[in-house]
Amino acid sequence: MNHAGVYIHIPFCSSRCSYCDFATGIYQIELAERYVRALIEEIRTSELSGARVDTIFFGGGTPSLLAAAQLARILEAVHERFEIDPQAEITLEINPGSATPAKLCEFRELGINRASFGAQTFDDRELAKLGRSHTAADARRTFHDLRAAGFANVSFDLIAGLPGQTLAGWERNVDEALALRPEHLSFYLLEVHSGTPLAQHIERGIQPVPDEDLAAVMYQSMLERAVAADYEHYEISNLCLPGFQSRHNTKYWTGEPYFGFGCSAHSYDGKNRRWSNQRDVLEYVRLVEHELKPLAEEHELTVEDLRSEALFLGLRLMRGVSVDLCKDYEPDLERFREAGLLELDGDYVRLTRNGALLSNEVFSVFV
């Protein structure tokens, strides 16, 4: 088996963003400690003992709200249960302003060597509309604090297509991010999920409907600016300086095994089995405290499932997939090639830049 990744979900935030549809809730100190204990128990009683692991990813939510001592206990449980590569990539998602310089130093001393940093935008008005709890000044300060703490691998998240956002404003965001020179950039087009405060604001006319055509122009502009600054566009939504791809996230796209712990966490054995945990925090904790598995769903993948997943997940990577993998879909692939969404490069099929923008249309054929 290839080296696996471990994903650990920390579902707590200091506030709820207006666009968020993730399994998160407001941080409460007692519940957070109960959750950490349940998380450690789930890891220690896992049937996956002994697997070789070379990436660990603390996602959320805002994992940096936990105390360093709590993260240390979780990491200790992971090390007890798995064989951890000495050069493992260990990522912590951090929101600007959610950790002091001293706390960031403590995180780095734990062996956490990569920070995924939710900047989203450097415009304070846009941050307020999104319900973010930080300002642009917080983002700049936290980035410099990360550098001072010894983080040499930092990823920024940026969101394009915000209600009322202009192309000029978006390009200022991108230029500021590039000027700071993080090792990795993740950028997303805003998705409006039903039931979120943002969706309700748009329905009531409080905020304008996002302009999808403008968002597409923003995507192209981002790519042009970042590539000109020597970033590699290696996946639909991700760019990096050479050598700084997200090793953990790449496992999702290449079919390598990953094991998720915590509420709503997903796992894949690298063969044909997927499973996921209960989404609700309290239900997850209750099950673990009663020595029950917090499993919500489990699926055995067929040969056809595996083939289609290998294709649409592999196509997320800009290097593409082998032509041999595409034989059952030749009519569709030819249609997408004629439309300028796919291209042949030797023995590989890959998305064009327009294809990356319209990737959901391409992928719908394989799902």
* 15-64 per-position pLDDT tens digit: 444 444 444 455 678 999 999 999 999 999 998 878 999 999 999 888 99
- Residue 292 has a pLDDT of 96
Compute φ and ψ for 70, nearest 5 degrees: -70, -45
Query: In the block, which residue shows the tokens 């001393």?
Result: 109
Q: Which pLDDT score is estimated for 188? A: 82
SS (H, E, C) 90-122: EEEEECCCCCCHHHHHHHHHCCCCEEEEEEECC
Cβ–Cβ < 8 Å for 179, 141:
no
Residue 357 — left, alpha, or beta (φ > 0 → left; ψ -120 to 50 → alpha)? alpha
Average of per-residue pLDDT values in the chain: 88
pLDDT at 22: 46
Which domains occur in the chain, in start order?
4-253 (3.20.20.70), 320-363 (no CATH)
Read off the pLDDT of each residue in 318-342 and give the average, rounded to a whole number: 90
- What is the band of 232 on the pLDDT scale with cuts at 50, 70, 90? very high
pLDDT recorded at residue 77: 97
Give the residue with greater pLDDT, 187 vs 241: 241
- Whether residue 79 is predicted with pLDDT greater than 70 in this model: the reply is yes
CA-to-CA distance for 294 and 364, rounded, in angstroms?
31
Give mean pLDDT, residues 229-241. Answer: 97
* Contact criterion met (CB below 8 Å) for 38 and 60: no
pLDDT for 191 equals 58
User: For residue range 150-208, what is the model confidence (pLDDT) as tens digits?
Assistant: 999 999 999 888 777 889 999 999 999 999 999 999 988 765 445 555 445 545 555 54
